[in-house]
Structure 1
Amino acid sequence: MRDDPTVVDLVTRARDGEKNAWDELVERYAPLVYSVCRRCRLAQPDIDDVGQSVWLRLVEHLPGLREPAALPGWIATTTQRECFRLIRATSRVEPVDFVQAPDVPEQAIAEEEVLRHERKTILRTAFAELSRRCQVLLGLLMQDPPAPYDEISRRLQVPIGSIGPSRARCLTRLRQTPALARLAADGPDDRTRG
């Protein structure tokens, strides 16, 4: 995922002043910023402040970004630093219950956050490739709590006995989507190599 040509293209176009590319970068990586902030246990107003700071820093540093493909890691690391800065500025006591263990390097946490974000993005892309019927069925089964089979049967107008086999077919199709096939072909170790 580190050599994602889409990221390189977006960074290049954003550097050239293309507003659509900038908007797409923000839309693509706002969930990453949000997830890092949530791991730091920030309240929504603080998350908004950190997000604004991260995007401002990106505007300042985008022209000098040497490795466009490294943008997700840069965003995760910058977000984490902004969170720590905000926490230090708003309290006199250093937070000790943050998820980062003292001996875990900041970069390792940022990389894990980037990988988690990339996996979610790939899964959302794969899910969007499914038929609308499969999306609705899987959505009903994955909501918390899952919809009861009788409700699914009524909403989809299918017999209760066909829900399980339909779910299995939808999950098979999901596994076979190009997005998930690429992820499986890369293997877990390939995404973490430098």
Structure 2
Amino acid sequence: MDVTDVDDPYRGWGTTALVAGALTGDEGAWNEIVRRHVPAVLAQIRQFRLAPEHAEDVAQTVWLNLLENLDRLRDPAALPGWISTTARHECIRMTNRNKRSVPVDPQTGSLDVGVHQDLDEGMDQVERYRALREGLAQLPDHQRELLLMLATDPPLSYQEISARLGIPIGSIGPTRGRGLARLRQTPAIKNYLAANAHAAFGEGGDSVLALD
């Protein structure tokens, strides 16, 4: 048996078990989810050639979105696809946000079809990003700081979070749950989900994260 598997039993867990563990506040399960899927996020970031500060922003948003929506995952096996798609959307959002000019058809003066599609996707991501930021701003400081720390890449350990926030390790899971519940009830998130449910949970009708 690989010594790594002995030292870290989570390496042998399947996706379903990891998701179930993370939902109960298991730090090791969450860390393993992030560890396994960091390469998929980095692959999208490299494809879009984002600057380091923008890459960090994208990664943080991906993990925060996953943290917020993990309990709505219908099929844990679809998790890798959701993470990759979300990372791609965030990269598009970041790329479009930093564009200074947009190609225009010189014959008609209108945007190309492909550009329309990219801008539509980019606007969806801008709206989601804004809603998330506004929602987080409405949380108590201790809940907002905890959620952001849990979404860092690489993830902080519960020991590090406990030391930084000055809270017991045992209170991190319950505080996370209350924070996410409160986040979903903020006007910014409720309004966004009501108007853009399809954009928040993937492409097309086969959404892997579903609204209640």
The normalised TM-score by structure 2 is: 0.42
TM-score computed with the length of structure 1 as normaliser? 0.45
> Which of structures 1 and 2 has the larger relative contact order (alpha carbons within 8 angstroms, sep 6+)?
2
* Structure label with greater radius of gyration: 1
